[in-house]
């Protein structure tokens, strides 16, 4: 793969959409071709799955159903969009990826981290390992303020303990995985983006030396 693969993770309202758009502009201004995408969704099939996953309804979506639908959307996005872009040499910035399944379904829904890692291994040669994952860390108490001006989806309507488990799982994963860089996302955006720029500069310099 000639392109670089960078993922952004964190609980809702941690600033992923805001900072991924900023990072895409930052890389483009360095002359890099960038594709910005998100999970779940983005492909036609993925957007249908996203509707099933996010809509609040009177029938419970079982945690294992949720897990498999996240992976179904992911495989469609990888095969249709991400892998072809990386092969072309385009850098891909993705808002959420496998670490979201580990944190939300493994931790939040208590399905277990190992069960989710088994599914990641089952992706085999269709799994693209991120070169860098930016984990925007906020305590769940900050979430309601960040989401105050929009209607809540099925995940956002969960109680605080759900987001505490997610945050804890993310932080444990970050302690194990050197590709994951944790940034305190309660800081002002300018400070967060200065830290992201340092991380991106490392990848840009590495790839220009290849
Ligand atoms: N999900 C899952 O369970 N398992 C999986 O494997 C995957 C996903 C892939 C997708 O939601 C849902 O799917 C998600 C997890 C689950 N749960 N939910 N909900 P989504 O795609 O609709 O949304 P999201 O990924 O959770 O992102 P978000 O809610 O849009 O938040 P965000 O992108 O992280 O934040 P933002 O929109 O950039 O910022 C929110 C507000 O905060 C906005 O007004 C900003 O201006 C403000 N903000 C951001 N940063 C700051 C700082 N530093 N200071 C002050 N204000 C700030």
Question: For the chain, what's the residue count?
Answer: 210
Q: Largest Cα–Cα distance in the chain? A: 55
Nearest to 11 by CA among 98, 133, 97, 135: 135
Query: How far away, in angstroms, is 113 Cα from ligand 1 center?
Result: 22
Ligand 1 touching residue 39 (CB < 6 A) = yes
Res 210: pLDDT: 80
Distance 156 CA to ligand 1 centre (A): 9
| C-alpha to C-alpha distance for 84 and 71, rounded to whole angstroms | 18
Q: What's the CA-to-centroid distance between 148 and ligand 1, angstroms?
A: 12
Ligand 1 in reach of 87 Cβ (< 6 A): no
68: Cβ below 6 Å to ligand 1? Answer: no
Cβ contacts of residue 81 below 8 Å, gap of 6+? 35, 37, 42, 43, 92
Q: How far apart are CA 154 and CA 55, in angstroms?
A: 6
* Ligand 1 close to Cβ of residue 155 (< 6 A): yes
Atom of ligand 1 nearest to the CA of 189: 53
**Atom number in ligand 1 closest to CA 98:** 6
∠ Cα 95 154 169 (to 5°)? 55
Single pTM value for the model: 0.98
Q: Where are the beta strands (DSSP E) in the chain?
A: 5-9, 34-38, 91-95, 132-137, 180-184
| CA dihedral (70, 76, 78, 82) positive or negative | negative
pLDDT tens digit at each of 210 positions of the chain: 799 999 999 999 999 999 999 999 999 999 999 999 999 999 999 999 999 999 988 899 999 999 999 999 999 999 999 999 999 999 999 999 999 999 999 999 999 999 999 999 999 999 999 999 999 999 999 999 999 888 888 998 899 999 999 999 999 999 999 999 999 999 999 999 999 999 999 999 999 888
DSSP annotation of 60 reads: P
């Amino acid at each position: 793969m000639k392109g670089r693969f960078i993922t952004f993770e964190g609980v809702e309202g941690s600033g992923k959409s805001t900072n991924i758009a900023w990072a895409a502009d930052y890389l483009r201004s360095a002359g890099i071709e960038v594709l910005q995408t998100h999970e779940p969704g983005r492909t036609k099939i993925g957007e249908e799955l996203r509707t099933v996953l996010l809509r609040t309804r009177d029938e419970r979506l079982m945690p294992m159903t949720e897990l498999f639908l996240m992976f179904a959307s992911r495989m469609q996005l990888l095969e249709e969009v991400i892998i072809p872009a990386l092969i072309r040499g385009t850098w891909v910035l993705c808002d959420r990826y496998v670490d979201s399944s580990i944190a939300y379904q493994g931790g939040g829904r208590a399905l277990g981290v190992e069960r989710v890692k088994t599914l990641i291994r089952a992706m085999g040669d269709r799994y693209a390992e991120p070169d860098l994952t930016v984990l925007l860390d906020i305590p769940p108490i900050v979430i309601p303020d960040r989401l105050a001006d929009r209607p809540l989806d099925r995940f956002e309507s969960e109680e605080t303990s759900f987001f505490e488990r997610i945050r804890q799982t993310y932080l444990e994963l970050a302690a194990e995985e050197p590709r994951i860089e944790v940034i305190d996302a309660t800081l002002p955006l300018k400070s967060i983006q200065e830290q992201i720029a340092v991380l991106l500069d490392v990848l840009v310099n590495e790839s220009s030396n290849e």
